[in-house]
């Protein structure tokens, strides 16, 4: 690393404020302060031309918040933005990087850039991520995808006088220039060094000029220990702080001092970067994820347990992301190819509600209770829009199926929005006219009175799981008042083959039940009943689906034998509970941290469903947990409370994945509950998924006792945690759970955090909101695999299919009532695939309308650490295919041959295609 002998000669003072939209104060309270701050900013910038620049914290949402209250100031604000004096973007909101999906990060930047351009200005091309709680391994590639070649960083580094200029290299090799802010004052170094000491003296800088100059000299000396060039940056601002009207005087006074030989200029990040780039030497390279423990620094720490704070927020968020990314947008493409307008405005609004929950202090669950209550409204709005669009788009296809294939029968269409075909047992709910099926009307016959046939009229066997009688099925015919049918909802399991990113239709052929005439001595006339006998249960507490065998022990743990490898995983599904006197940021155990495990409990084991295609095992436990902690917070309380735990395990024929749903009624406070899966595998590393990457992590960690804070006890993941040895492996897939670790002992136990209950809140007396008292539900899955295929591709495929599932839409045998004005000829086939990708390792993350409305965007990422190629075909002949960046600007034209296009992706590379169709 080259270090200049003369030190810093010029410092760009960048005025800004870090604006948490909601945190220790509710949104409306923060907004009132924001309005007053921008009011003063506009007045001052118009009056003082030497106050040249202001940076709006790298996010555009603050402009929306301001204009809702001050619409009359739009032109004044616009003039300062268009003249380059106020820098906006590139983000819409400043998110957390681990608790949202990779697509969410991209859509956030897309919206911020679009909004910036709507103001008549280009966004600030700076990766402004100054207060985010660590940085994921693919952020350099994401930033470069928007033409951003730098990142302003703070947390996630050791802080041992890190150089202020670095190279940050992502998982794929992409590099950005890292502007590493110092470990003590971070994005507020000018503020804390120059402004803050004089606040309680009424900002009397002139009356304390000698002290002012001494503090500036100390500040410059501090910066000289970290700089690699002769140019530095001074950040004039801090969290939610207003401007300093005397800044122009301060800069002039400092420059006029004979004791200081460094020039200060009021500047912007982009002007600073322009000055800096030509002066860079041989910089230190930091690779991949940046989430290091801090050696020193006032705020230089990464709050690790935000991964499990207020876990319901994470669950709702991932559900909303899945609806948008994996259903609404792909279905929008499918339906638009069949003539329905793509619902862009609805989709944009759903994304907007969702993105507003992604600021780091919001999604991390470390704000006051009011903030997190407000978030639930936004999640609801995003979800409701998405669910409505899913319903309309699937109905559009089902309403326009070719009736010849239906032959007057009731039908159901199963949609698969995954890039992978489905060939496994699925669950489907069938709404049948109330009382018409033998399973309801003639229960003694122990069967149903319908058969199911696929698109080629081949009979499909099934298993009846459950019935809900006399349920209301509401529909609203277009131009008519709402109506309702009374139905019996039958839940069935059936083996299904579904095409990639498409649908397949099944018909029901019903037998009639003719009751005898009055006074006639005869039974009902029924052809059937329909039964498909069989069982997956092979012992009193044993089940075998042909791929794995499960045995439930007396304490509720399970032993699972992978029938391919012959390995048995013993003692899985063990619950572990400990105290937590921390807050939204950190799990803190008291000195007396009594840990409770479920291993000695007596479980009630129930065979909930059993048949040839699916078995459901119900394991009921009662955890007796300490009610909370004592008043001194030194130990757990002696009083115990019951915390009922019920876990349902679905075992499906020939499926290597076990599906779990755990329901808990939490009556305990101040604790953390984990699930343990001892693997017994001989390995020294494991993998966790983060946005667009599968990160390898060492199980054994070096001694970290000399660090500033306690060593990390968990790591982030966004749905996949896996470990394997040479011949076998175990993976946990989750929905909305983000905190895990593999413990460094012989059993190699994978520990998955379900939730934390905490009372403390930032700058408040606390509340019960973080205790999560009441019912909680968690969904996760276990996969058991060999090493006969690329493990990365398998993990991504299985996780994608687990979180995506299938969608089913029904069509009655009676008159069809359409619920929207969208119509076309009823000639759609009974089965269709809209996209086919031949590739082991390329994973699709987006399938949507292009931003300009012409053509479609297919985004993929290479899940493997080597070059990967694939062939992509679409429903309809391709007219063109171009590689675009994440901002959807054209980069390269690809050759289209015979309706297909060849894709090449480097190791862990994200590739975005813009395709158009002929005709």
Q: What distance in Å separates the CA atoms of residue 216 and residue 260, rounded to the nearest whole number?
A: 8
Cα 881 to chain centroid distance, Å, stands at 29
Last residue of a domain, one of 356, 375, 399: 399
- Residue 825 CB contacts under 8 Å (≥ 6 apart), including other chains: 400
**Whether 649 and 733 share a structural domain:** yes
The pLDDT tens digits of the residues spanning 562-583 come to: 999 999 999 999 999 999 999 9
620: domain CATH number is 2.70.98.30
Q: What distance in Å separates the CA atoms of residue 870 and residue 215, rounded to the nearest whole number?
A: 60
In a domain, 571, yes or no: no
In a domain, 554, yes or no: no
Work out the pLDDT band at 898, boundaries 50, 70, 90: confident
912: domain CATH number is 2.60.40.2220
In the three-class reduction of DSSP (H, G, I as helix; E, B as strand; rest coil), residue 280 is classed as coil
For the whole model, what pTM was predicted?
Answer: 0.96
- Residue 456 CB contacts under 8 Å (≥ 6 apart), including other chains: none
In a domain, 124, yes or no: yes
Work out the pLDDT band at 2, boundaries 50, 70, 90: very low
pLDDT at 444: 77
Ramachandran class of 146: left when φ > 0, alpha when ψ lies in -120 to 50, beta otherwise: alpha
The pLDDT tens digits of the residues spanning 616-642 come to: 999 999 999 999 999 999 999 999 999
Average pLDDT over residues 441-456: 89
Expressed as residue numbers, the domain containing 884 is 834-919
Phi, psi (deg, nearest 5) at residue 74: -60, -45
The pLDDT tens digits of the residues spanning 717-741 come to: 999 999 999 889 999 999 999 999 9
3 has pLDDT over 50? no
Alpha-carbon torsion 154, 155, 157, 159, what sign? Answer: positive
489: domain CATH number is 2.60.40.2210
**Whether 192 and 69 share a structural domain:** yes
225 secondary structure, DSSP code:
T
Least confident of 258-267, 435-444, 543-552, 595-604: 435-444
Residue 514 token pair: 């003719």
Q: What distance in Å separates the CA atoms of residue 214 and residue 248, rounded to the nearest whole number?
A: 19
Residue 885 token pair: 């960046």
Ramachandran class of 863: left when φ > 0, alpha when ψ lies in -120 to 50, beta otherwise: alpha
Q: What distance in Å separates the CA atoms of residue 770 and residue 761, rounded to the nearest whole number?
A: 8
pLDDT at 1: 38
Question: Which ranges of 121-268 does DSSP label H, i.e. alpha helix?
Answer: 139-144, 189-190, 209-224, 247-256
**Whether 77 and 106 share a structural domain:** yes
CB contact at 8 A, 633 and 593: no
Q: Which residue's structure tokens are 């788009």? A: 393
Q: What distance in Å separates the CA atoms of residue 305 and residue 314, rounded to the nearest whole number?
A: 13
- Residue 278 CB contacts under 8 Å (≥ 6 apart), including other chains: none
146 has pLDDT over 90? yes
Last residue of a domain, one of 779, 798, 828: 828
pLDDT at 919: 74
- Is the bond preceding 57 in cis, omega lying within 30 degrees of 0? no
CB contact at 8 A, 774 and 668: no
**Whether 44 and 163 share a structural domain:** yes
The pLDDT tens digits of the residues spanning 352-394 come to: 999 999 999 999 999 999 999 999 999 999 999 999 999 999 9
The burial of 4, by beta-carbon neighbours within 10 Å (0-12 exposed, 13-18 middle, 19 or more buried), is given as: middle
Work out the pLDDT band at 45, boundaries 50, 70, 90: very high
Alpha-carbon torsion 104, 105, 110, 113, what sign? Answer: positive
In a domain, 537, yes or no: no
Q: What is the mean pLDDT of the chain?
A: 95
- CB atoms under 10 Å from CB of 325, counted, come to 25
518 has pLDDT over 70? no
**Whether 162 and 240 share a structural domain:** yes
**Whether 590 and 692 share a structural domain:** yes
**Whether 680 and 812 share a structural domain:** no
236: domain CATH number is 3.20.110.10
Least confident of 88-92, 458-462, 709-713, 872-876: 709-713
Higher pLDDT, 522 or 392: 392
In a domain, 388, yes or no: yes
Q: Write the DSSP assignment of 703-765 as a string of letters.
A: --TTSSSPPP--EE-SSEEEEE-SSEEEEEEESS--EEEE-SSTT-EEEEEEEEE----TTS-
Q: What distance in Å separates the CA atoms of residue 865 and residue 695, rounded to the nearest whole number?
A: 11
In the three-class reduction of DSSP (H, G, I as helix; E, B as strand; rest coil), residue 833 is classed as strand
CB contact at 8 A, 728 and 565: yes
**Whether 87 and 213 share a structural domain:** yes
pLDDT at 647: 98
Count: domains in the chain: 5
Average pLDDT over residues 183-193: 94
* Strands ordered across the beta sheet of 463-475: 422-433, 483-498, 463-475
- Is the bond preceding 81 in cis, omega lying within 30 degrees of 0? no
- Where are any strands of DSSP class E within 90-238? 127-128, 150-153, 165-169, 175-180, 231-236
In a domain, 550, yes or no: no
- Where are any strands of DSSP class E within 434-482? 450-453, 459-460, 463-475
Residue 268 token pair: 């912007």
In a domain, 546, yes or no: no
pLDDT at 787: 73
Q: Strands 127-128 and 150-153: what pairing?
A: parallel
**Whether 378 and 429 share a structural domain:** no
The pLDDT tens digits of the residues spanning 210-239 come to: 999 999 999 999 999 999 999 999 999 999
- Where are any strands of DSSP class E within 373-458? 410-416, 422-433, 450-453
81 has pLDDT over 80? yes
**Whether 231 and 184 share a structural domain:** yes
pLDDT at 5: 39
Cα 135 to chain centroid distance, Å, stands at 15
Q: What distance in Å separates the CA atoms of residue 496 and residue 653, rounded to the nearest whole number?
A: 12
Average pLDDT over residues 404-418: 96
The pLDDT tens digits of the residues spanning 868-877 come to: 999 999 988 8
Last residue of a domain, one of 384, 399, 414: 399
Q: What distance in Å separates the CA atoms of residue 176 and residue 113, rounded to the nearest whole number?
A: 19
**Whether 178 and 55 share a structural domain:** yes
Length of the chain: 919
Phi, psi (deg, nearest 5) at residue 563: -70, -15
297 has pLDDT over 50? yes
**Whether 889 and 824 share a structural domain:** no
514 has pLDDT over 70? no
CB contact at 8 A, 793 and 863: yes
385: domain CATH number is 1.20.1270.50
In a domain, 356, yes or no: yes
260 has pLDDT over 90? yes
Q: What distance in Å separates the CA atoms of residue 339 and residue 399, rounded to the nearest whole number?
A: 13
Work out the pLDDT band at 310, boundaries 50, 70, 90: very high
- CB atoms under 10 Å from CB of 214, counted, come to 12
Q: Which residue's structure tokens are 């603050």? A: 62
4 has pLDDT over 60? no
Higher pLDDT, 648 or 514: 648
CB contact at 8 A, 306 and 714: no
Q: Could you give the C-alpha distances from 808 to 20, 387, 595, in angstroms and in order?
A: 41, 13, 44
């Amino acid at each position: 690393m080259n270090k200049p002998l003369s030190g810093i000669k010029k410092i760009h003072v960048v005025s800004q404020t870090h604006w948490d939209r909601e945190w220790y104060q509710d949104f409306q309270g923060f907004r009132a302060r924001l309005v007053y701050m921008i009011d003063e900013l506009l007045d001052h910038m118009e009056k003082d031309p030497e106050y040249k620049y202001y940076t709006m914290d790298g996010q555009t949402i603050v402009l929306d918040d301001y204009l809702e209250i001050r619409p009359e100031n739009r032109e004044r604000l616009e003039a300062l933005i268009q003249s380059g004096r106020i820098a906006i973007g590139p983000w819409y909101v400043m998110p957390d990087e681990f608790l949202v999906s990779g697509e969410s990060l991209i859509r956030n930047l897309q919206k911020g850039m679009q909004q910036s351009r709507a103001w008549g200005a280009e966004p600030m091309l700076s990766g402004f991520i100054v207060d985010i709680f660590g940085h994921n391994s693919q952020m350099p590639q994401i930033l470069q995808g928007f033409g951003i070649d730098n990142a302003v960083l703070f947390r996630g580094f050791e802080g041992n006088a890190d150089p202020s200029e670095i190279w940050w290299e992502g998982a794929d090799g992409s590099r950005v220039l890292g502007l590493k802010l110092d470990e003590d004052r971070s994005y507020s170094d000018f503020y804390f060094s120059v402004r803050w000491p004089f606040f309680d003296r009424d900002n009397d800088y002139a009356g304390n000029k000698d002290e002012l100059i001494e503090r500036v000299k100390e500040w410059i000396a501090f910066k000289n220990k970290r700089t690699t060039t002769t140019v530095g940056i001074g950040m004039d601002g801090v969290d939610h702080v207003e401007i300093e009207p005397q800044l122009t005087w301060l800069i002039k006074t400092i420059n006029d001092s004979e004791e200081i030989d460094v020039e200060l200029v009021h500047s912007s990040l982009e002007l600073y970067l322009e000055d800096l780039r030509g002066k860079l030497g041989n910089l230190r390279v930091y690779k991949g994820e940046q989430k290091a423990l801090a050696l020193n620094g006032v705020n230089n720490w990464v709050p690790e347990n935000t991964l499990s704070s207020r876990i319901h927020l994470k669950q709702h968020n991932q559900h909303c992301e899945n609806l948008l990314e994996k259903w609404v947008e792909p279905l929008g493409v499918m339906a638009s190819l069949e003539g329905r307008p793509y619902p862009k405005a609805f989709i944009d609004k759903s994304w907007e509600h969702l993105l507003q929950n992604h600021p780091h202090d919001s999604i991390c669950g470390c704000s006051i209770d009011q903030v997190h209550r407000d978030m639930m409204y936004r999640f609801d709005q995003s979800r409701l829009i998405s669910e409505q669009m899913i319903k309309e788009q699937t109905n559009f296809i089902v309403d326009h199926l070719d009736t010849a294939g239906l032959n007057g029968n009731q039908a159901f269409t199963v949609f698969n929005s995954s890039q992978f075909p489905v060939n496994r047992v699925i669950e489907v709910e069938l709404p049948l006219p109330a009382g018409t099926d033998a399973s309801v009307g003639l229960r003694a016959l122990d069967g149903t009175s319908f058969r199911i046939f696929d698109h080629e009229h081949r009979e499909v066997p099934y298993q009846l799981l459950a019935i809900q009688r006399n349920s209301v099925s509401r529909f609203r015919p277009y131009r008519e008042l709402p109506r309702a049918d009374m139905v019996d909802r039958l839940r069935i399991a059936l083996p299904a083959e579904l095409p990639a990113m498409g649908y397949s239709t099944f018909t029901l052929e019903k037998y009639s039940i003719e009751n005898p005439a009055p006074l006639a001595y005869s039974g009902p006339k029924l052809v059937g009943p329909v039964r498909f006998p069989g069982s997956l249960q092979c012992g009193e507490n044993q089940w075998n689906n042909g791929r794995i065998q499960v045995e439930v022990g007396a304490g509720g743990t399970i032993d699972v034998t992978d029938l391919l490898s012959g390995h048995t995983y013993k003692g899985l599904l063990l619950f572990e509970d400990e105290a937590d006197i921390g807050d939204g940021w950190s799990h803190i155990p008291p000195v007396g941290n009594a840990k409770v495990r479920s291993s000695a409990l007596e479980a009630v084991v129930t065979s909930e469903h059993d048949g040839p295609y699916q078995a459901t095992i119900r394991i009921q436990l009662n955890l007796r947990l300490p009610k909370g902690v004592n008043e001194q917070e030194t130990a757990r309380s002696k009083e115990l409370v019951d915390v009922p735990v019920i876990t349902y395990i679905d075992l499906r024929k020939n499926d290597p994945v076990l599906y779990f749903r755990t329901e808990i009624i939490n009556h305990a406070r101040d604790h953390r509950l984990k699930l343990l899966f001892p693997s017994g595998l001989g390995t020294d590393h494991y993998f966790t998924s983060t946005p667009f990457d599968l990160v390898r992590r060492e199980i054994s960690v070096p001694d970290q006792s000399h660090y500033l804070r306690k060593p990390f006890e968990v790591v982030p993941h966004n749905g996949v945690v896996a470990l394997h040895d040479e011949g076998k492996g175990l993976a946990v897939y989750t929905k909305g759970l983000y905190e895990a670790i593999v413990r460094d002992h012989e059993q190699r136990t994978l520990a998955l955090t379900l939730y934390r209950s905490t009372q403390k809140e930032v700058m408040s007396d606390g509340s019960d909101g973080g205790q999560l008292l009441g019912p909680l539900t968690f969904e996760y899955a276990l996969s058991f695999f060999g090493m006969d295929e690329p493990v990365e591709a398998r993990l991504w495929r299985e996780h994608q299919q687990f979180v995506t599932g299938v969608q089913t839409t029904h069509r009655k045998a009676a008159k069809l009532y359409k619920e929207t004005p969208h119509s076309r000829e009823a000639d759609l086939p009974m089965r269709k695939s809209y996209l086919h990708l031949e590739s082991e390792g390329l994973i699709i993350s987006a399938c949507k309308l292009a931003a300009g409305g012409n053509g479609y965007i297919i985004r993929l990422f290479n899940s493997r650490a080597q070059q990967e190629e694939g062939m992509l075909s679409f429903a309809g002949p391709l007219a063109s295919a171009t590689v675009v960046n994440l901002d959807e600007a054209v980069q390269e034209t690809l050759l289209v041959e015979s309706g297909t296009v060849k894709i090449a992706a480097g190791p862990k590379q994200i590739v975005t295609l813009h395709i158009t169709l002929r005709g």
